[in-house]
Amino acid sequence: MKVNIHQAKTQFSRLVERALQGEEIIIAKHGKPLLKLVPIQSQGQRPIGLHPRKLSEASIAASLAPLDEEALKDWYR
């Protein structure tokens, strides 16, 4: 489906729904295609190893250690 910018502004919600259902939506200006409205692919869970910085073994172990009694009290407040 090809729509002009004015149509896209006035019918944006409908166009989004149609794009989510798999329809190709082309937005044009003066008949010239400019953009394609497409859904973002599901992100799902981030694969292991994509953390912005490498975690040390110590920080991993500390994050997996059980909480002490004081920390548990704070958690339930």
Does pLDDT of 72 surpass 70?
yes
Model pLDDT, residue 48: 65
Residue count (the chain): 77
**The model's pTM:** 0.52
| Dihedral of alpha carbons 15, 18, 19, 23, sign | negative
